[in-house]
A and B are shown apart, each in its own frame.
Chain A
Amino acid sequence: MDLSAFLKAGELAPLGESMPRWRPGLGAARHSEVFASGREASGAAAALALALDETAGRLDERSVLWVQDAAALKLGGRPYRPGLPEQLRHRLIHVVAKKAEDLLFALEEGLRCRDFAFVIGELAGNPKALDLTSSRRLGLDTERYGVPLMIVRLDAGRDLSSARMRWQVRSAPSAASRWNAFAPGAPAWHAELFRARTHAPGEWILRDDGHGLAADRLAATQRTEPPDHGDLAVAAGSRSLAAG
């Protein structure tokens, strides 16, 4: 593989400041992770929205692979076709993996297939099988075969990963409904980009504005809490490993 296309670690730190902030339609990240609570469907919904944003503009009729492990299935249920985004309803192929190893195998096979528009993996907790090595393996596959990968992590700690963009997502109050003031409207999600290779971190309210993904940036809140030295491995996940 041609490594010269990638930036060196030393070039990244100043780049993070100079690079444009993330905005919808940039389509940069092939391998992303979305952390979310298992009590809501915001993780999968935001992952779908981000993946669709990634492949927007291309008229794509290829299938979509959605892999769930048994724990995620129990926690959040299965995809329900009438509730899926309109353009995905007839394209979804769903895989249930009993163990995390099977899930990783299914993701890898999905990434190697040229007939998938993107691949979504949904797993609960921090299984041992999903370590930095397997994460890097998936990342290399996405770059080699060009199929975007979104991993939804339900109730998971921010462990080591080689994902290019890592999001923390939770539900946000929805927009006003068009017809009924008391009804929930179009869904919105609060998304925090806490680690990205080429973008500065930030927080957004993501929503679907009818044409595609729209993001309203929230003003950067000043972090005043002291650094957490408790669990170094976990804390490393929220820092940029490469840029140091």
Chain B
Amino acid sequence: MAIWLSRLAVDRWRLVEACKPGEGADAEPTVLISETAHGPRIEAANDAGLAAGARPGMRLADARALCPGLKTAPSDPPGDRAFLETLALWAQQWGPWSALDEPDGLLVDVSAVAHLFGGEARLLADAQAAFVRRGLTARLAIAPTAGAAWALAHFGPERAILDPPRDGEGDHAEHGGGGLPHTPRLAESPLRQPCGLPPPRPGEDMLADLPVAALRLGDDELTVLRRLGLKRIGQLGEIGRDALHRRFRSRSPEANPLLRLDQLLGRVAEPLLPVVATPDPLVQRRLMEPIRHRQLLDQVLADLAADMARELESKARGARRLELGLWRVDGEVIVRSLEFAGATRDPAHIARLFAGKLDDVDAGFGIELLRLRAPWTEALALAQGDFERRQSEGTSLAECIDRLTVRLGEKAVRRPVIHASHIPERAQRWQAPLASEPASQGQLAFHQRPLKLLDRAEQIAVLYATPDGFPQRFRWRGQVHDVARVEGPERIAPEWWREKSTTRLRDYYRIEDDEGRRYWIYRHGLAGDGRGGAPDWFLQGLCA
């Protein structure tokens, strides 16, 4: 069964606005827009908007010219997709498997299911009614193949049903008088016999009258077919396979009408990716007596963590994120979430980290329900407990990082990684400590870099022989340093592909003063480079 939610974006917008079709906000012409490089573009329009002349794909400015009072709302493709996923799970009430058909369709496998609803027509009526109840516009069709169902849902009659072939019926249809205009040609095609393709099936006439767009082809292929004068699916059969094969050689089905035709007729298998619901591990405790004291809360939390550890262990998974919901007697919900550096299911660790987050919980008249959910889990194999492990052996790295991040914040615990850039402050980036290191080029061994880099290079006053002599003496933070030894300059040009053309180059010097203190300083620009006045000097790094 194919379900086409023809107005998905608009329907969802209307459900969010909580208004019935044609009432409230929906009564005014409204369009859903997305920002593009050429200004806002209309993604979808409601009925009033369509009546006013707005069409999907138009620029908003053009539509405003037609209808000055057009209201806009931002479109939300990720939200639509997430909604479609929940709908796919919901649609499994009509069949055991359902798959997404992006951007606005669903496919449900209803093989051998229809009799439970009293026949295919009743199944469709039931589904149609369910979608109407949810306030969604849907067109439905049932066919033996996903491709045919899709074609009928989009371009066929309302609630079309294409019967599957019964044994032996195909032969009659082949020679039957009321057959298709193209079937005899297909059957006589020389390609057809050696391949051992099955004979054409009844119901193909229903498909043969559909436009070629029902083959789920890309825009380019549709244009080619239109130029060739091929408008109906039936016409494709009339010109022979080899002629089409010469023109469409692509192996991807979207670009090859022959493959799509075979999928439509069930000659080629078309696997679907089913949507399978994976319920998040969830444990909860209802309390007979609402708790108001921290000590009891800690106890219940420890119990919950132990339950969660058992739950995760049974699935051989570890939690990366946990959400704790505390339901108060007066209906308030307090939510605390926790993210781990590595997958874990150690109850003591979980309870300890949550304890640090519960200090500001206001229990009010008491907390009566605690629920712990793990929305993000990772596989974590069952491991045997270490028999000889003592308490004094310390924590693991992931546990330690969890404790640090919970107290100091996500941004405080990081690891430096190399980034591809010449500019020293950009050559290092910071990432989460346990994330894998990005691939990088080898570093040049003859470049000596300082041990520490100041967050902002500090301006210094330097005595040097203009225009580009060695620095001889400089003042930094109120103290004068006499330069004893110097190496340089190492010229680092600005990254012209990302900076303004007036950015000045830098000449770096590694210097040592008379007391042995080593610094990394640079002259910002050259005298007379036309990008400012006399060059400034900066101290950027402290060498070991």
Expressed in whole angstroms, the minimum distance between the Cβ of B541 and any Cβ of chain A is 6
Q: What is the number of residues of chain B that contact chain A, defined by CB distance less than 8 Å?
A: 55
Question: B397 interface residue, CB < 8 Å from A?
Answer: yes
Q: Is A94 in contact with B518, judged by CB distance below 8 angstroms?
A: no
Chain B residue nearest in CB terms to A105: B407
A77-104 interface mask toward B, CB cutoff 8 Å, 1 = contact, 0 = none? 1111111100000101111111000100
B449-486 contacts to A (CB < 8 Å): 449-455, 476-477, 479, 484-486
The segment from A10-18, A110-118, A129-137 that touches chain B is: A110-118
Please determine whether A97 and B408 come into contact, CB atoms closer than 8 angstroms.
yes
Q: Is the CB of A187 within 8 A of B392?
A: no
Closest to A108 in B: B403
In the complex, which residue of chain B has the Cβ closest to the Cβ of A102?
B408
Q: Given contacts A42-B544, A73-B455, are A109 and B403 in contact (CB under 8 A)?
A: yes
Which single member of A78, A187, A190 contacts B518 (CB below 8 Å)? A187
A92 to B447, CA, bound (A): 20
A83 partner residues in chain B, CB cutoff 8 A: 448-453, 541, 543-544
B517 in contact (CB, < 8 A): yes
- B515: Cβ under 8 A from any A Cβ: yes
Report the bound CA distance from A188 to B515 in whole Å.
Answer: 11
Q: Is the C-beta of A39 less than 8 angstroms from some C-beta in chain B?
A: yes
Known: A80-B449, A80-B450, A180-B487. A95 touches B408 (CB 8 A): yes
Interface residue? A41 (CB, 8 A): yes
Chain A hits for B452, CB < 8 A:
41, 44, 76-80, 83
Whole-angstrom CA separation of A80 from B407 in the bound complex: 25
Query: Which of the segments A169-177, A196-204, A228-236 contacts the partner chain?
Result: A169-177
Asked if A78 and B486 sit within 8 Å, CB to CB, the answer is no
Interface of B, secondary structure class, is mixed
Indicate if the CB atoms of B412 and A97 lie closer than 8 Å: yes
Cβ < 8 Å to A, chain B residues 479-517: 479, 484-487, 510-512, 515-517
Contact of A41 among B416, B430, B544 (CB under 8 A): B544
CB distance from B96 to the nearest CB of A (A): 47
B329 at interface by CB-CB < 8 Å: no
- Encode contact with A along B503-544: 1 for CB under 8 Å, 0 otherwise: 000000011100111100000000000000000000001111
Assembled-state Cα–Cα distance A109/B411 (Å)? 17
A113 touching B544 by the CB < 8 A rule? Answer: no
Chain A residues closer than 8 Å to B517, beta-carbon distance: 39-40, 42, 171
Q: With A45-B451, A187-B518 given, is the CB distance from A80 to B392 under 8 Å?
A: no
Query: Which residues from A are CB-within-8-Å of B443?
Result: 82
Task: Tell me which residues across on chain B come within 8 A of A76, comparing CB atoms.
Answer: 452, 454, 542
- With A39-B479, A79-B452 in contact, is A112–B395 under 8 Å at CB? yes
Residues of chain A from 172 to 197 with CB closer than 8 A to chain B in the complex? 172-174, 177, 180, 182-184, 187-188, 190
Residues on B with C-beta less than 8 A from A180 are 487
Q: How far is the CA of A64 from the CA of B510 in the complex (A)?
A: 27
With an 8 A cutoff between CB atoms, is B427 at the interface? yes
Q: Chain A contact residues: over half helix, strand or loop, or mixed? A: mixed
Residue numbers in B under 8 Å from A215 (CB-CB): none
Identify the interface centre among A98, A114, A180, A188: most chain B CB within 10 Å of its CB.
Answer: A114
Q: Are A112 and B400 in contact (CB under 8 A)?
A: yes
| Docked CA distance A78–B542 (Å) | 10
A106 on interface, CB distance cutoff 8 Å = yes
**Residue B433 lies at the interface, judged by CB distance under 8 Å to chain A:** yes
Does the CB pair B477–A39 fall under 8 Å?
Answer: yes
Shortest Cβ gap from B389 to chain A (Å): 10
Closest residue of chain B to A80 (Cβ to Cβ) is B453
Report which of B411, B428, B437, B451 forms a contact with A90, defined as CB distance below 8 A. B437
Whole-angstrom CA separation of A171 from B454 in the bound complex: 18
Instruction: Determine the residue in chain B with the shortest Cβ distance to A103.
Output: B408
Given A39, A42, A93, which contacts B433 in the complex, CB threshold below 8 Å? A93
Give the residues in chain A near B511, CB-CB below 8 Å: 184
Contact A173 B430 (CB under 8 A): no
Asked whether, in the complex, the Cβ of A94 is within 8 Å of the Cβ of B430, the reply is yes
The residues of A that contact B451 with a CB separation of less than 8 Å are 41, 44-45, 48, 79-80, 83-84
Q: Is the CB of B449 within 8 A of A63?
A: no
- With known contacts A44-B452, A183-B486, A183-B510, A81–B433 Cβ distance under 8 A: no
Nearest B-chain residue to A93, judged by Cβ: B433
Contact, CB under 8 Å: B455 / A114:
no
Residue of B nearest to A45 (CB): B544
CB distance from A88 to the nearest CB of B (A): 10
Is residue A144 within 8 Å, beta carbon to beta carbon, of the partner chain?
A: yes
Residue pairs across A and B with Cβ atoms less than 8 A apart, 24 shown, are A39-B477, A40-B542, A41-B542, A63-B433, A80-B449, A82-B427, A82-B428, A82-B443, A92-B416, A93-B413, A93-B414, A93-B433, A94-B430, A95-B413, A98-B408, A106-B408, A113-B395, A113-B400, A144-B392, A147-B394, A171-B517, A173-B515, A182-B485, A184-B510
Which 7 residue pairs spanning A and B have beta carbons closest together?
A: A183-B487, A45-B544, A41-B542, A115-B397, A113-B400, A83-B449, A114-B394
Chain A interface residues (CB < 8 Å from chain B): 39-42, 44-45, 48, 63, 73-74, 76-84, 90, 92-98, 102, 105-106, 109-110, 112-116, 144-145, 147, 170-174, 177, 180, 182-184, 187-188, 190
List 8 extra interface pairs beyond A74-B455, A80-B453, CB under 8 A: A44-B451, A79-B452, A83-B452, A93-B433, A95-B408, A105-B407, A145-B392, A184-B486
